[in-house]
Structure 1
Amino acid sequence: MTKDAVLGLDVGGSSVKYRLASVTRSDRMPDALDEGRAPTPAEDPVAGLAELARRVTAGVRLDAVAVAIPGIVDAERGTVVRSANLPALNGLELGPRLSDMIGVPVSVLNDGRAAAVAEARWGAGAGIRDVFTLALGTGIAGAHVVDGVVVDGAHGSAGELGHVVIEPNGAWCTCGQRGCLETVIGAPALRRAWSSAGGEGAPSAMFAAYEACDARAVEIVNRAADALADAILTLLALVDPGVIVIGGGLATSPHRLVTLTAASVAERATFHRVVPIVPARLGRWAGAVGAVAQAQTLAARTEEAVA
């Protein structure tokens, strides 16, 4: 064995991003000893992830593994409650079963929370103790991280800014309410708005049209930014974070939604303490990096328990 290491796995619908890193926690993001992608195992997810872990960690002494999953997770039991993208994992005690197969402690966490921890610890929120992270995509994921730990709330569902009602008589949301933030700024909502305005293609095409000053795209993007600003003003009033980090597929460079939203918040704030609203830094690897952070914490706790 050459060195101690931890492994972070970010499991998606089609691929698993893996990152092997030092077991030692530090303020600096650890360099990857190895990282890459592998197909998401389809037949037996536990056996497939175990085989991936063995292959990636050959030659190192593995101390802990953390697995980030898109869906609802019972972190205490290491169980995947429900995952729309990975139904084979529904109800599966992934943590204990994978731990039995590879012989090290395994933690299971939600992928959005993993990304939030990564951004708070080593990304755009580094150095700030109170960070709220938003991921703009098909849905709107949110997580509040204080001192490196996600504040889950009493029932594990805190941070759902995507289901703050912005337009009370607006479109129906998949959650059953009308006018949630997701019905205005989620990727499907933007795609529908762009199509209804005569545009073609995905939201990326709409943002390209915005850059070309297409009046239709400008109207849709400005409306989306104002809706997000509404939600963030509520967030500032209730949570008062030190920084708001915005990432996800709809917030990539040139970060128009981020800059427009920040300007709208600054213009409309009254008693609110306006904090920096900044783009995320870690991109698509944030989930794997956050899983590494969780694995480091798990390794440290395990060592303390044994000592």
Structure 2
Amino acid sequence: MPDYTVGVDLGGTKLLVAQVHPDGQLGSTSSYRTAVEDGPEGVLAQVARVVSREFEEGPPVAVGIGVPGLVDTITGECTFSPNLHWQQVPVARLLGSVLGVPVYVDNDVNLAALAEHRLGAGQGYRDLIMVTIGTGIGAGLILDGKLYRGSGGSAGELGHLPVDPQGAQCTCGRRGCLETTCSGTAIGRRATQLAHPASLLWGKPPPDARAVFAAARQGDELAREVVREAVDWLG
């Protein structure tokens, strides 16, 4: 009988799926673009399809899914996700009914921090904070050896701290949140705003953060300026 689990990292831009063995080692992995435009039902149908492909060895013990937003870990409901545009989505119930195995849901960065604490660079430490920068910005907290979620599961919502009252509109509805200044999305947007003919980023499709950092490594001054701005906001 298979004894693996399947881990799902559901982001606002990409969807990552991996088999995980009892010793923490990864089996097969795959990556897809998240079909955010299809709404909660469409995204969860996409998740169910790609997770089912990992069932060739038989159903896993369980599926764990990290969601970018606030999660009720008792019910498995995503109560609010700005980057997915979700509210009150019963992720565990909907996926579990399709997959036929237990589904556990938590905030994506909480799970990343927990994994780092148990299996990665955080092993042996009682306290750590893990900050992730992607479509948005999030943080996971381990305090006294335990995952700390805070009231309503919002302890690590670093990306929605207001830092610039005159800044860009955030997906959460407020203006000038941290992730509007230095998330991967913000870095790409800022490079698009500043692009000029002397830059490696000129005349190409709107750059993402990966393209901006690649140009910065090649000495592109515009890209370097965008990276410096992002680091200043984050620091």
How many residues are treated as equivalent by the alignment? 221
Deviation at 1:157, TM superposition (A): 0.9
What is the letter of the counterpart of residue 5 of structure 2?
Answer: V
Q: Does 1:116 align with 2:113?
A: yes
Is contact 1:173-1:182 (8 Å) kept? no
Unaligned runs of 5+ in 1: 230-307
> Residue 190 of structure 1 aligns to a residue in which SS?
helix
Q: Does 1:35 align with 2:29?
A: yes
Deviation at 1:77, TM superposition (A): 0.5
CA distance change for structure 1 residues 127 and 50 in 2, over 3 Å: closer, same or farther?
A: same
CA distance change for structure 1 residues 31 and 215 in 2, over 3 Å: closer, same or farther?
A: closer
Identify the match of residue 141 of structure 1 among 127, 138, 141.
138
- The range that moved more, 173-182 or 106-115, is 173-182
**Over residues 136-180 of structure 1, what are the superposed CA-to-partner deviations in whole Å (9 max), with x where a residue is unaligned?**
23321122123664311112111222233444x542442565544
Cα separation, 2, equivalents of 1:99 and 1:108: 11
Partner residue, 1:211: 217
Q: Does 1:171 align with 2:167?
A: yes
- After TM superposition, the score normalised by the length of structure 1 is 0.57
**Over residues 265-291 of structure 1, what are the superposed CA-to-partner deviations in whole Å (9 max), with x where a residue is unaligned?**
xxxxxxxxxxxxxxxxxxxxxxxxxxx
Is contact 2:113-2:130 (8 Å) kept? yes
Unaligned runs of 5+ in 2: none
Partner residue, 1:256: none
Partner residue, 1:151: 148
Deviation at 1:20, TM superposition (A): 2.3
Which structure ranks higher in relative contact order (CA pairs < 8 Å, sequence separation ≥ 6)? Answer: 1
Cα separation, 2, equivalents of 1:166 and 1:13: 22
Cα separation, 2, equivalents of 1:180 and 1:50: 32
> Residue 74 of structure 2 aligns to a residue in which SS?
coil
**Over residues 43-94 of structure 1, what are the superposed CA-to-partner deviations in whole Å (9 max), with x where a residue is unaligned?**
766666556555523444633221223343222111133445656x753423
- After TM superposition, the score normalised by the length of structure 2 is 0.70
Partner residue, 2:159: 162
- The range that moved more, 45-54 or 60-69, is 45-54
CA distance change for structure 1 residues 120 and 218 in 2, over 3 Å: closer, same or farther?
A: same
Is contact 1:66-1:107 (8 Å) kept? yes
Cα separation, 2, equivalents of 1:69 and 1:170: 29
Provide the aligned C-alpha RMSD in A: 3.6
CA distance change for structure 1 residues 172 and 127 in 2, over 3 Å: closer, same or farther?
A: same
Query: Whose radius of gyration is greater, 1 or 2?
Result: 1
CA distance change for structure 1 residues 166 and 80 in 2, over 3 Å: closer, same or farther?
A: closer
- The range that moved more, 60-69 or 155-164, is 60-69
What is the letter of the counterpart of residue 130 of structure 1?
Answer: D
Query: Quick one: percent identity of the two aligned structures?
Result: 35
Partner residue, 2:67: 69
CA distance change for structure 1 residues 67 and 219 in 2, over 3 Å: closer, same or farther?
A: closer
Q: Which has the higher helix share?
A: 1
Cα separation, 1, equivalents of 2:120 and 2:190: 32
Deviation at 1:16, TM superposition (A): 4.5
Identify the match of residue 233 of structure 2 among 206, 210, 227.
227
